[in-house]
Amino acid sequence: MVLFSEDQIQETKMRGRIEVICGSMFSGKTEELIRRLKRAKFARQRVEIFKPAIDTRYSEEDVVSHDSNSISSTPIDSSASILLFTSEIDVVGIDEAQFFDSGLIEVCNQLANNGIRVIIAGLDMDFKGLPFGPIPGLCAIADEVSKVHAICVKCGQLASFSHRTVKSEKQVLLGETEEYEPLCRECYVRARQGDKGNT
């Protein structure tokens, strides 16, 4: 039997880490983020949650999943703002991380190096199937990456792609089921070819 000293136990508590939850739209990213954060709160850990100020689809302030689960959060305009709110915090949650600037990677590294558990949720690809914002860089430095999947609305296979169903070439277009649908690779490729044929 191994006995740990009080110092070792305290050090274990202070180990920071980065967890990334990524995938397509409608894959349950925010749902999983909320689940982990609520568990941390239940364990009496001090939790602070952030979301991009531009994301007001369900609520100005709360992080809300497609299933209407919610948790209160602080909307911010830049990743650097996170550091202003995180003294005396054990766990930081960040939703819709793809909308933040590339500085988020360094911010998360700094938080984890200071002993904070950082849980990030975001789209790993945009509607063109390209890496989205800081998510690829966050996956690279993460201690743990969970790729979650939706179900393809065309064939029922696991979906990894967010297909945009409205005409717009802007990378950031906030939307829901009217603007996006989750597709598997095969159905996504077919849909994108159809999109190009219609332009």
Instruction: Report the candidate in 119, 116, 125 with the shortest Cα–Cα distance to residue 86.
Output: 116
* 40: its two tokens: 């941390």
Q: Is residue 96 annotated as a catalytic residue, yes or no? A: yes
**DSSP E strand boundaries for 11-139:** 17-23, 47-52, 63-64, 70-71, 74-76, 91-94, 117-123
SS3 73: coil
- Asked if residues 114 and 149 have their Cβ atoms less than 8 Å apart, the reply is no
Residue type, 25: M
Strands 150-151 and 17-23: unpaired
Q: Can you tell me the distance from the alpha carbon of 103 to that of 148, in angstroms, rounded to the nearest whole number?
A: 24
How many Å apart are CA 150 and CA 5, to the nearest integer? 45
Q: Which helix (H) or strand (E) holds 183?
A: strand 180-183
Determine contact, residues 60/54, Cβ cutoff 8 Å. no
Options 11, 96, 144, 186, the catalytic residue: 96
Q: DSSP code of 173?
A: -
Residues recognised as catalytic: 96
